Structure 1
Amino acid sequence: MGDVYTAKESMEKVSEKMKNKKQEERFLSLIHEHHHRLYRIAFSYVKNKEDALDIIQESVYKGYKSYHKVKQPEYEKTWITKIVMNSAIDFIKKNKRVVPLEETVLENVASPTRDIVEDKLTVEEALDQLSEKQRAVVILRFFEDMKLAEIAEVLDAPVSTIKSLLYRALKQIEVDMKEADTYE
């Protein structure tokens, strides 16, 4: 009877290792598939290659440790994006600095926003005027081309809230631009 229990125990250990190996492969596949997008998100917060890479490294570590908590594979992208954003915000808070936006980031911005760059008020200044949540919504919507529903999942908020944040952010940018025009 002792041999049966030992064999059962061994089978459970092998099964657990196989499950862990599959999870590890899925996690590595997730990171490999989205590493450019995750880097862009981190970079959009810190505007520095080395800091962005540090954020990605920290995010991958956090993700690897907690990957077993992801119950539905269709939410993996949202889950890892949220980890990157939170890590970037934590990094900024920890280092207590405002980060300037680099010109290379501006090259990827849609044409209506390019007009902002040509005015006195740059995209950098406009984003700096926004709240943390508004900035996150604008970055995800216009820099990462995410749909409002996807942004809602990442920020764990209703779509209506995301719409309101985006509307208020765009309104704030418009007001700031009008104010900048009056100073010309």
Structure 2
Amino acid sequence: MKHDIKIVKKAVKGDSEAFESLLFNEEKMLYYKALSLLRNKEDALDAIQETAYHAYQSIRQLRQCEYFSTWLFRILIRECYKVLKKRDRLIPYEEKELLRKLEFTEEVTIESCYLNEALSKLNSSYQTVIILFYYHDTSIKDISKIIDKPVSTVKTHLHRAKKTLKFELERSYLIHENIT
């Protein structure tokens, strides 16, 4: 979301009303992103509260006012991962949506258990990139900023994750075919 740069600059200088108005403009995005990652209303609200707190504490460190939304989203993602790590959960996703966006063109119907298994075999950085890119429609440039990696690394992770995911899905299907 684009914000008025003047309001962001006021918030950076310490104007709490300007900061509050920026948060109100982002509240729906924060809630839906947190809910999609955590799949629990209470956890999502906790993550948003922590995000607001940490953002308010560090708003003076924001260097480029035009990237306020990206900066805030990065804080939210970190808070969501803290909650997930604390509860020792995997990143949730909707299987059918992810398969559609991956354009998996096999003639077979992939069951969600296959996707769960395949995604669980990816390392966490690959999982993060796949889910942010395909499920949350986050650009590669934004993913790069969120995970603090160069764009080329994000592209490499995305390529390798897709390759591994496709291999694992095909392998799961073949194993299932031989059993039945």
Show the 5 A alignment for 1:31-50. Answer: 31-50=23-42
Q: Secondary structure at the match of 2:122?
A: coil
| TM-score (normalizing by structure 1) | 0.73
Q: Which amino acid aligns with 2:14?
A: N
Deviation at 1:113, TM superposition (A): 4.2
1:164 pairs with 2:156: yes
Larger gyration radius, structure 1 or structure 2: 1
Unpaired runs of at least 5, structure 1: 1-15
Q: Which amino acid aligns with 2:23?
A: I
Q: Which amino acid aligns with 1:172?
A: T
Q: Which amino acid aligns with 1:146?
A: T
User: Which residue of structure 2 lines up, in the alignment, with residue 20 of structure 1?
Assistant: 14
Mapped contact 1:47–1:99 kept (Cα < 8 A): no
Aligned residues: 163
User: Which residue of structure 2 lines up, in the alignment, with residue 9 of structure 1?
Assistant: none
1:56 pairs with 2:48: yes
Change in 2 beyond 3 A, CA 1:159/1:68: same
| TM-score (normalizing by structure 2) | 0.75
Deviation at 1:110, TM superposition (A): 6.8
Deviation at 1:157, TM superposition (A): 1.2
Q: In the alignment, which of 92, 113, 127 is matched to residue 84 of structure 2? A: 92
Query: Which deviations, in whole Å up to 9, do the C-alpha atoms of 1:21-60 show, x marking residues without a partner?
Result: 2xx3443343233333333332343222221221111111
Mapped contact 1:58–1:87 kept (Cα < 8 A): yes
Q: CA RMSD in A?
A: 2.9
Whole-angstrom distance in 1 between the partners of 2:18 and 2:128: 27
